[in-house]
Amino acid sequence: MKIRHYSLEQFLELVKEFHGYEAPGVVIGGFMVDLAYGHLPEGGLFDAVSETPKCLPDAIQLLTPCTLGNGWLTVVNVGRYALTLYDKKSGEGVRVFVDTDKLEPWPELKTWFFKLKPKNEQDSDRLAREIREAGVEILGVQNVKMPHRFLEHRKRGSMAVCPECHEGYPLDDGPRCLSCSGKENIYTTRNK
Amino acid sequence: MKIRHYSLEQFLELVKEFHGYEAPGVVIGGFMVDLAYGHLPEGGLFDAVSETPKCLPDAIQLLTPCTLGNGWLTVVNVGRYALTLYDKKSGEGVRVFVDTDKLEPWPELKTWFFKLKPKNEQDSDRLAREIREAGVEILGVQNVKMPHRFLEHRKRGSMAVCPECHEGYPLDDGPRCLSCSGKENIYTTRNK
């Protein structure tokens, strides 16, 4: 059993190292990414969308060239456990999702996915076993075409020095940066 | 010269592998994370904020336990090149930012930071050299206290099956998932 270029055990090690623990969602995410690549032409350059910020983005960041910081991974939080890999230019791609109809044979997985029991009442060993045994069997695949806004590569405009905090910020944001203008105030105390 | 537990060369290798190339912003981000830890108590558990989605989140993900998928990294896009590491419980932390007053001795770095020339007219070798030589000299440090909303750990509510797409989604989002309700429609064509 391979997850991209890794054995399952190698991938689980990577997950622990990067994500902090062997999270069920990241392991399932590994099967999802692998399945998506299996439906895409070899050697293509694909951007990624995750439909949830939870767990799945880390499987994508570990197994594709797409990261949050390089801009090739976008999170569109619609709360679904699904990802899409799509051609950067054409927008054509493949979406992989958890098919809820296919969860029936895996009671612990279903319990985890729908949160039918509190975490401390779930059987984590059984869950891990079911995830490995189920593999891609709980997944569905769709062909999708991404809307234009996912293909545009917006150039950042000019940078300026904010007159208040004296830091660099995108001039498009207005006469002050979004923090100093109060539109996104995140700090309660500051001593510069 | 060390970037956390790595030599600079080891860190640059990690950056290439994860981010795809030795992006100036991620390298500077490495110095920023390292400086932040130097101002924090040893062995603490810190969450992270990046004030930009560009590059900096990857330095954080490579050098701290915080990732997008495990929820310990939050991006608050105010367009500033700054990060904060803060105690998960108290909200007390350290913010590191690029101090624009300190860029003068580094002309290529300043040109890159403020985008004073188009990319193809910038001298990338000189930029890389200046970034390494400058190290933490271009940075500033502040003590901050994060507002309460960064400390709350919202529990996800129940999951349900969306009557339209038949996928799992958070019931709090309404009678249908945010995609099917049209609030976040990201796909133009689908063939399930």
Q: Which residues of A touch B162 (CB under 8 A)?
A: 80
Q: How far is A96 from chain B (nearest CA, A)?
A: 10
Contacts of B18 in chain A (CB under 8 A): 61, 67
Contact B67 A169 (CB under 8 A): no
Chain B positions touching A61 (Cβ under 8 A) are: 18, 61, 67-69
Per-residue pLDDT tens listing for chain B (192 residues) = 899 999 999 999 999 999 999 999 999 999 999 999 999 999 889 999 999 999 999 999 999 999 999 999 999 999 999 999 999 899 999 999 999 999 999 999 999 999 999 999 999 999 999 999 999 999 999 999 998 888 876 676 899 999 999 999 999 999 999 999 988 767 654 444
**pLDDT on residue B154:** 66
Instruction: Kindly state the tokens that stand for B45.
Output: 């558990």
CA distance A1 to chain B (A): 24
B27 → chain A, closest CA residue: A69
Nearest CA in chain A to B82: A167
Q: B48: which 2 tokens? A: 């992270």
pLDDT given for residue A189 in this prediction: 46
Q: What percent of chain B has pLDDT over 90?
A: 84
- Shortest distance between the Cα of B113 and any Cα of chain A, in A, equals 8
Select from B20, B61, B168 the Cβ nearest to the Cβ of A65: B20
pTM for this predicted structure: 0.94
Cβ distance of A18 and B145 shorter than 8 Å? no
What's the rounded mean pLDDT across residues A35-41?
97
What is the distance between the alpha carbons of residues B38 and B31, in angstroms, rounded to a whole number?
11
The alpha carbon of residue A124 is apart from the nearest alpha carbon of chain B, in Å, by: 18
> Looking at residue A187, what is its pLDDT?
67
AA identity, residue B94: V
Q: Is the model's pLDDT at A27 over the cut of 70?
A: yes
- The ipTM assigned to this model is 0.93
Beta strands A46-50 and A73-75 are parallel
Find the residue in B nearest to A20 (Cα).
Answer: B65
Beta bridge partners of B142: B95
The string of pLDDT tens digits covering residues A96-151 is 999 999 999 999 999 999 999 999 999 999 999 999 999 999 999 999 999 888 88
Count contacts between A and B (CB, < 8 Å). Answer: 209
- pLDDT at position A188, please? 53
Alpha-carbon distance values, A88 to A29, A93, B100, B187 (Å): 21, 9, 35, 15
Predicted confidence at residue B182, as pLDDT, reads 85
Contact state of A70 with B23 under an 8 Å Cβ cutoff: yes
pLDDT value at residue A154: 66
